[in-house]
Amino acid sequence: MSAKVEKESDEEAIAEQPFLRIGETPVYFSEDWNTGIGGGLWSTGLALAHYFATDHAADSIQRLRRTNRHRLSVLELGSGNGFLSVCLLALARDSLANLVVTDTAEHLAMMQKIIDANSHLMNGATNDVPVHVLEHLWGEFQASPSSSSSPADSSSGSLVDRVLQGNHQFDLIIGSDLAYRKELYDPLIASLLQYSHEKTVALIGVTMADTTPSFFHRLTASGLVYEKFGADLLEPEFRGTTFGVFMIRRRQESMR
């Protein structure tokens, strides 16, 4: 599915040759390690991107949309380069209401560059998807202008303001290679909780060599439940490895 990207120049590489295809839809991408570790494509991100090309992923998006009874509001945490978000757009743009792509400030330019190179993905057959690139430090939220604002009050203010304040709940949260250091566990879980409602599904890819069992213990202690994808849902090259894709929900939401 993937194709080698020429390195002559970032603009030429992104513009001329699809990195992979989700169905018949091309996705354009090239790494930029000058951005930092987030500018590269890690194996769990690629595994999750390949999953987005499967019928199971398409069916799951449709089930989630039916469960929520509206187009989906989607958040990517720790994006680094925007790649996973554009793959999701290629899969499900007509099922998305909006997409918010986040990371630390030094990654925003790279993320915006990849999203701009895939502008064809924002325009669906029945729906144009607004995409916002924002800085978000896990577990940190801006003060709301009114003390009455709360996560349950998600109708006031712009989408961007609500996200920055932690007052918007998403239907789907995605991310890869997030829990790679122990000091990140609690802030990551705080963001998962703040941005989720009782029907939210989070799809998180991890490298088990980097993510210790204590991360999953903390998920459970915080009121979240998790389920690892079966190997049959991953491409053969990612089976029998230390990569894992986990579905995470609030405990009161029964697993289906």
Q: Is the pLDDT confidence value at 252 over 80?
A: no
Among 28-37, 72-81, 129-138, 209-218, which is the least confidently predicted range?
28-37
Q: Nearest Cα to 111, choosing from 39, 3, 188?
A: 39
Chain-centroid distance of CA 140 in Å reads 18
pLDDT at 8: 37
The C-alpha R_g of the chain, in whole angstroms, comes to: 17
Q: Is the pLDDT confidence value at 59 over 90?
A: yes
pLDDT at 231: 86
Q: Is the pLDDT confidence value at 42 over 80?
A: no
Task: Read off the tokens for 54.
Answer: 């499967």
Secondary structure in 3-state letters for the chain: CCCCCCCCCHHHHHHHCCCEEECCEEECCCCCHHHCHHHCCCHHHHHHHHHCCCHHHHHHHHHHHHHHCCCEEEEECCCCCCHHHHHHHHHHHHHEEEEEEEECHHHHHHHHHHHHHCHHHHECCCCECCEEEEECCCCCCCCCCCCCCCCCCCCCCCHHHHHHHCCCCEEEEEEECCCCCHHHHHHHHHHHHHCEEEEEEEEEEEECCCCCHHHHHHHHHCCEEEEECCHHHCCHHHCCCCEEEEEEEECCCCCC
The residue ranking higher by pLDDT, 24 or 13, is: 24
The residue ranking higher by pLDDT, 235 or 49, is: 49
Task: Read off the tokens for 53.
Answer: 């090309």
Q: For the residues 76-102, what does the mean pLDDT come to?
A: 96
User: 43 pLDDT band (50/70/90 cuts)?
Assistant: confident
| Residue 142 φ/ψ, nearest 5 degrees | -70, 150
- 63 C-beta neighbours (distance < 10 Å), count: 12
Distance in angstroms (rounded) separating the CA atoms of residues 196 and 145: 21
User: 171 pLDDT band (50/70/90 cuts)?
Assistant: very high
Distance in angstroms (rounded) separating the CA atoms of residues 192 and 78: 12
Q: For the residues 126-153, what does the mean pLDDT come to?
A: 81
Q: Is the pLDDT confidence value at 256 over 60?
A: no
pLDDT at 120: 94
The residue ranking higher by pLDDT, 44 or 104, is: 104
Sheet holding 131-135, edge to edge: 131-135, 96-103, 72-76, 170-176, 196-207, 243-250, 224-228
Q: Is the pLDDT confidence value at 218 over 70?
A: yes
Q: For the residues 23-45, what does the mean pLDDT come to?
A: 81
Which domains occur in the chain, in start order? 37-250 (3.40.50.150)
Kindly give the interhelix angle for 55-68 and 83-92, rounded to the nearest 10 degrees: 80
User: 240 pLDDT band (50/70/90 cuts)?
Assistant: low
| Residue 85 φ/ψ, nearest 5 degrees | -65, -40
pLDDT at 146: 62
Q: Is the pLDDT confidence value at 104 over 60?
A: yes
